[in-house]
Amino acid sequence: MAGHGDTYVRSRAFSGIKLASLTMVTGAPEEVAAIGVRALRDAVAVRSRRTAGELRELHRLAAPHERLTEVAELRHRIVEVVSGA
C-alpha cells in the first residue's frame, strides 16, 4: 500500500482491502480496523464493482469477529460504502 501514491488510488484501495482480508483470515482481527479504514477511504474515491466485491468479501470474513468494536464498526462502514451511503 505504501508504494501506491495518490495517482494510484485504485491500486492502493484494492491492496488495502486484500491486506485487510488476509489479516482477518490469519487471525489478527484487531489489526484489521486500521488497515480497513484506510482502504475504505480510498475505495470511496474509486467506486468499482471489483472493489465493491472485495469489500463484501472483507465484510463476510469479518463476521466471526464482530464482537470486537473495531471490527463491528468496520463492517458497518463497509455496508455504507458498498451501498453508496
Indicate if the pLDDT at residue 76 is higher than 90: yes
Residue 47 has pLDDT above 80, yes or no: no
- Of 17, 19, 26, 23, nearest to 56 by C-alpha is 17
Range list of H helices, the chain: 9-25, 29-46, 49-62, 69-83
Give the pLDDT confidence of 10-36 residue by residue, as tens digits. Answer: 788 888 899 999 998 887 888 888 888
Determine the pLDDT at residue 31. 84
Phi, psi of 26 (to 5 degrees): -80, 0
Query: Cα–Cα distance between 48 and 34 in angstroms, integer?
Result: 22
pTM for the structure as a whole: 0.84
Q: What span, in angstroms and rounded, lies between the C-alpha atoms of 44 and 40? A: 6
Q: Give the domain ranges of the chain.
A: 6-83
